[in-house]
Each structure stands twice: as structure tokens, then as C-alpha cells.
């Protein structure tokens, strides 16, 4: 069973997302509504495109920044992706979700930007063969206390989470982004990235555990095994 | 090793096996039998429970829409760009 698609986990995450308006609709209502808007745009009503796009602005930006890692570049990528989506809207086929289509375009734009800006780096990233085999041993911290989501209101906590995501190798980061940030299903993630579903699962697993390892001690540096906990957190 | 609880037999699994399935466990991508075995393990293993809770916490945090805040004026600039299209 796919947990994290817009229809299931999306509904559970209704708060704090730009999709809240669309979340109150069922999947089929959402699709019908989007299909009508797409028809209007293709019929010449440009304003309908704004309405179609608005729930996904943050998703587009998040996709872009997680690949290019820089706010200015991410904004440029987002703009290019949106212009491309507008120009190619008549080619959109309803077999995929509009949101997935948008993510795919943004992801391709972001990678293209990276390739242009840093061809050597891109090449080395692209050629990386991840060792998806073998056991992964999560670090044993002396203690673990959950980081309450309310703390994301604080800029430094948001930054810490972003930094932890950015510190992941690109192949892990991309899977994590599509699956856990954009809530694409495993199948959709596999389609966007052009990798198999088992590879998505393996990389996602690594990404999540690595992120835990990096975030657990990373926010205040107090979780060090063998040492007493230094209270540095506000909670 | 087989543990019996309330008449149900659960085959115990190692911490390493549990870690390798933590992500699939969170995504409900495992068989009911494996889920049962993992849950029996979590009851007895504080470390694996901490790994599970930590991973679940992290998944919740990154999935929270607040992590990636759009820069001020992002939408305005985006729509301005669109308006310039011929």
C-alpha cells in the first residue's frame, strides 16, 4: 500500500502546506478541477494557469532548491520550469498527476542548470554508483528526543533540517526529496528519477537513517554517547 | 528463537534485520508477518525503538511544508515572469 501520495498522507499533512485548499477535495475532484483548468489554459485563458499553479508553488521551489541548493538559482529554475510547463501544457497527458508532471519538469530543469554551471561536478555526481548493498548501521546515541515539528517555526531549526538534507549525497537527497518532501509514491519517484522501485526503497532507507544520524546530534551537539547530556535545547 | 505471546508464535529477529526494514516499516511496505516480528522486537529493544522513533521524527520534519520556505516575493516574481510571455 502506498502511504505517501497526495490522496493519503497528503490529507494527513493538511496543515502547513500550500496544498490545503486542494486537500479538501478528493483525488478525482482534484483531477477533474485540474483538467478543467488545463482545458481553459489551452483555450487561451492564461489566468487559469495561475490558479492551476498556485497550490504547487512551494513544491516547485522545494524541488529546485534541493537540487541546486542555492535560493537564487532555485528561483531561476522554478521560473524556467513554470514557463516550460505553461508552454508544454497541451502535451500534458492525464495518465500522470499534474503535480508529478510539474515535479518532473522542475527536477529536469534543476539538473540541467547544475550540468551547465558545474559540468565536472555534475558528471562526477551523475557517475556515482551508490553502494546500495550491505547493511547500514545507524549510530547509537545515548539518548534520543524527538524534535517537535513546532520548532520549524524557528529559522535555525528549518536551516538545520535543510542543511542535513543538503549534506546527503545527491542520489539519496533526490529520492528523499521526492518521496518525503513532495510525498510522491514509490512508483512515481521511480518514474521521475528513472530508477527501479527497489532502488528507490533502498536509497530512501539510507537517506532517512543518514538524516536521523545527522539531525540527532546536529542541532545542539549534545547527543554524544558516553557523555552526560548537556541541556542546550529549549525543549 | 520462537517467542509465544497470547498463543501467537513470533520468530525473533536481530537488530540488523530490523534496521534494514525500518524505512519499509514506516511506509507499510512489509508483510504482516514481518511487521509482527518487528513490533515484538521493538517491545524488547530500546535502541531499535529509538532508531524507529528518530527516523519517524525525521520523516515528519522533512515532510513538513515549513522546511522549505519560499523567498519573499517569490510568487509575485513568478507571475510577473508569466505575464511577460507573448
Q: Are residues A13 and A58 located together in one domain of the fold?
A: yes
Q: Are residues A98 and A149 located together in one domain of the fold?
A: no
B28 contacts in A (CB within 8 Å)?
1, 3
| Chain B CA closest to residue A165 | B62
Query: Three-state SS for B77?
Result: helix
Report the gap between the CA of B22 and the closest CA in chain A (Å).
7
Closest CA to B48 of B68, B72, B20: B20
Which CATH number belongs to the domain containing residue A71 in this structure? Answer: 1.10.1740.10
Could A79 and B70 be called an inter-chain contact, meaning their C-beta atoms sit closer than 8 Å? no
Q: Are residues A118 and A158 located together in one domain of the fold?
A: no
Angle at A167 between CA A15 and CA A199, to 5 degrees: 80
Q: What average pLDDT does the segment A70-99 reach? A: 90
In a domain, A216, yes or no: yes
| Chain A CA closest to residue B28 | A1
- Cβ neighbors of A83 (< 8 A, separation 6 or more) are B81, B82, B85
Q: Are residues A122 and A170 located together in one domain of the fold?
A: no
Instruction: Write out pLDDT tens, residues B46-72.
Output: 888 888 888 898 899 888 888 888 899
Nearest 5°: phi and psi at B9? -90, 135
Check CB contact of B72 with chain A, cutoff 8 Å: no
Can you give the pTM of this predicted structure?
0.73
CA distance linking residue A206 with residue A98, whole number of Å: 29
Q: Are residues A95 and A13 located together in one domain of the fold?
A: yes
Residue A82's pLDDT is what?
Answer: 94
Report the gap between the CA of B34 and the closest CA in chain A (Å).
15
Query: Three-state SS for A135?
Result: coil
Q: Are residues A174 and A97 located together in one domain of the fold?
A: no
Q: How many folded domains does chain A comprise?
A: 2
B20 contacts in A (CB within 8 Å)?
135-136, 205
Query: Chains A, B: CB contacts under 8 A, how many?
Result: 137
Could A208 and B22 be called an inter-chain contact, meaning their C-beta atoms sit closer than 8 Å? yes
Range of the domain at A18: 1-127
Domain ranges, ordered by start, for chain B: 2-83
Place of cell 546536529: A218
Could A209 and B64 be called an inter-chain contact, meaning their C-beta atoms sit closer than 8 Å? no
**pLDDT reading at A21 higher than 60:** no
In a domain, A205, yes or no: yes
- Using CB atoms, pick whichever of B27, B58, B78 lies closest to residue A78: B78
Q: Are residues A179 and A83 located together in one domain of the fold?
A: no
Q: Are residues A113 and A2 located together in one domain of the fold?
A: yes
CA distance linking residue A232 with residue A212, whole number of Å: 19
Which CATH number belongs to the domain containing residue A221 in this structure? Answer: 1.10.10.10
Instruction: Write out pLDDT tens, residues B1-31.
Output: 555 555 455 568 888 899 889 999 999 999 9
Instruction: Write out pLDDT tens, residues A139-168.
Output: 665 556 677 788 788 888 888 888 888 888
Residue A235's pLDDT is what?
Answer: 37
CA distance linking residue A35 with residue B8, whole number of Å: 51
CA distance linking residue A66 with residue B50, whole number of Å: 27
In a domain, A71, yes or no: yes
Q: Are residues A84 and A120 located together in one domain of the fold?
A: yes
Amino acid at each position: 500500500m502506498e502511504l505517501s501520495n497526495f490522496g493519503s498522507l497528503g490529507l494527513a499533512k493538511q496543515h502547513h502546506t500550500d496544498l490545503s485548499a486542494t486537500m479538501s477535495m478528493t483525488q478525482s475532484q482534484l483531477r477533474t478541477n485540474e483538467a478543467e483548468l488545463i482545458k481553459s489554459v489551452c483555450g487561451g485563458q492564461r489566468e487559469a494557469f495561475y490558479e492551476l499553479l498556485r497550490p504547487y508553488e512551494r513544491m516547485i521551489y522545494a524541488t529546485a532548491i534541493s537540487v541546486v541548493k542555492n535560493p537564487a538559482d532555485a528561483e531561476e529554475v522554478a521560473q524556467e520550469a513554470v514557463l516550460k510547463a505553461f508552454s508544454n501544457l497541451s502535451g500534458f497527458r492525464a495518465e500522470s498527476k499534474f503535480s508529478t508532471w510539474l515535479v518532473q519538469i522542475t527536477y529536469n530543469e534543476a539538473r540541467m542548470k547544475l550540468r551547465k554551471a558545474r559540468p565536472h561536478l555534475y558528471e562526477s555526481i551523475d557517475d556515482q554508483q551508490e553502494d546500495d548493498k550491505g547493511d547500514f548501521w545507524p549510530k547509537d546515541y545515548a539518548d534520543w528526543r524527538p524534535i517537535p515539528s513546532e520548532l520549524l517555526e524557528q529559522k535555525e531549526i528549518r536551516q538545520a533540517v535543510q542543511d542535513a538534507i543538503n549534506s546527503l549525497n545527491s542520489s539519496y537527497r533526490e529520492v528523499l526529496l521526492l518521496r518525503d518532501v513532495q510525498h510522491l509514491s514509490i512508483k512515481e519517484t521511480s518514474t521521475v528519477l528513472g530508477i527501479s522501485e527497489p532502488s528507490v526503497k533502498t536509497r530512501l532507507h539510507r537517506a532517512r537513517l543518514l538524516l536521523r544520524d545527522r539531525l540527532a546530534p546536529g542541532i545542539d551537539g549534545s547527543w554524544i554517547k558516553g557523555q552526560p547530556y548537556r541541556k542546550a535545547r529549549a525543549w | 528463537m520462537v517467542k509465544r505471546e497470547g498463543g501467537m508464535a513470533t520468530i525473533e529477529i536481530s537488530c540488523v534485520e530490523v534496521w534494514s526494514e525500518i524505512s519499509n516499516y514506516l511506509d507499510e511496505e512489509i508483510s504482516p508477518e514481518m511487521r509482527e516480528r518487528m513490533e515484538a522486537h521493538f517491545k524488547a529493544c530500546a535502541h531499535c525503538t529509538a532508531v524507529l522513533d528518530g527516523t519517524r521524527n525525521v520523516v515528519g520534519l522533512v515532510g513538513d511544508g515549513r522546511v522549505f520556505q519560499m523567498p519573499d516575493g517569490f510568487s509575485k516574481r513568478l507571475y510577473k515572469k508569466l505575464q511577460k510571455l507573448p
